[in-house]
Amino acid sequence: MTDVSSLFRLDGRVALVAGAASGIGLASAQGLASAGGLVICADANEAGVEVAAAGIRQDGGRAEALGLDITDRMAVTDAFRRIEATHGQIHVLVSTPAVNIRKPLLQYSDAEFDRVLRLNLTGNFLMVQAAGRHMSERKTGSIILFSSIRSVTVEPGQSVYAATKAGIVQMARGLAAELGPDGVRVNCIAPGVVETPLTAPIKHEPSWYEAYATKNALGRWAKAEEMIGPVVFLACDASSYVTGAVLFVDGGWTAIDGRFTPPLSMVAQSD
């Protein structure tokens, strides 16, 4: 009989988490460490990932900190090379970084458009390309990208961000098809509204915050820690036959077709 609990363990595996200094990335790193993995906490915020890794170690987990700008190809290549040299293999990649500049499409500047695409698409492209090459050589691995409910449903001020999140889904699906024969799985998690430092400005506008809470079936925002279960599931053997999938963790937002027209002048952007 299969030991079900062992399916959700990551003992002996190395997980690289991009965006681990805060929010969903930090929660993901903590969850993977709790499941037994050695977690490389990566982020452009070097001080933040030092704190994140130290916190995991203090709680009895294994973690290392890595300063990393995922939009820098040379930095990404070097990071994978160093992790491979030290640990031999990267079994799991979780990539969470994104930026959202909330404003009407007709008001977007070229620089703003480039900024959103560079992090949300180019950065994730560089990470999955490096991870895909590394994992395909070893015939195993799990790549987890973060999309959003905005990949399938939008509202005023979200068009560019939504385009990148839909692009992440298709990039993941295409890569899943390409790497499937090599035993590498690629999946997406699509959260709804999540309580993180980056969404704090919305919380400070009560009508906006409450409107989002009432637009999903559960009637509330998610906590970052509620992404841990989906991340660990997709990282471990419990999901060994899952690839090319999009797991919506949205409190039923897409089920009931939640929509809100936000006061865009109140919150310009979040990283």
Give the count of beta carbons closer than 10 Å to the beta carbon of residue 178. 13
Active site residue 241: no
Give the Cα separation of 187 and 231 in Å (integer). 10
Return all residues near 69 (Cβ < 8 A) that are at least 6 apart: 44, 75
What pLDDT was estimated at residue 270?
Answer: 47
pLDDT per residue as tens digits for the range 178-192: 999 999 999 999 999
Q: What's the pLDDT at 196?
A: 87
DSSP state at residue 181: G
Are 167 and 121 a contacting pair, CB within 8 Å?
Answer: yes
- Max Cα-Cα span within the chain: 60
- Residue 237 and residue 214: Cα distance in Å, rounded? 35
* CATH 3.30.390.50 is right for the domain spanning 4-252: no
Q: Comparing C-alpha atoms, which of 73, 59, 58, 68 is closest to residue 21?
A: 68
User: Which of the following is catalytic: 108, 161, 209, 212?
Assistant: 161
pLDDT tens, N- to C-terminus, the chain (271 residues): 778 889 999 999 999 999 999 999 999 999 999 999 999 999 999 999 999 999 999 999 999 999 999 999 999 999 999 999 999 999 999 999 999 999 999 999 999 999 999 999 999 999 999 999 999 999 999 999 999 999 999 999 999 999 999 999 999 999 999 999 999 999 999 999 999 877 888 888 899 899 999 999 999 999 999 999 999 999 999 999 999 999 999 999 999 877 667 776 655 454 4
CB-based contact 188:239 (threshold 8 Å): no
User: What are the distances in angstroms from CA 122 to CA 112, 114, 172, 193?
Assistant: 14, 10, 13, 24
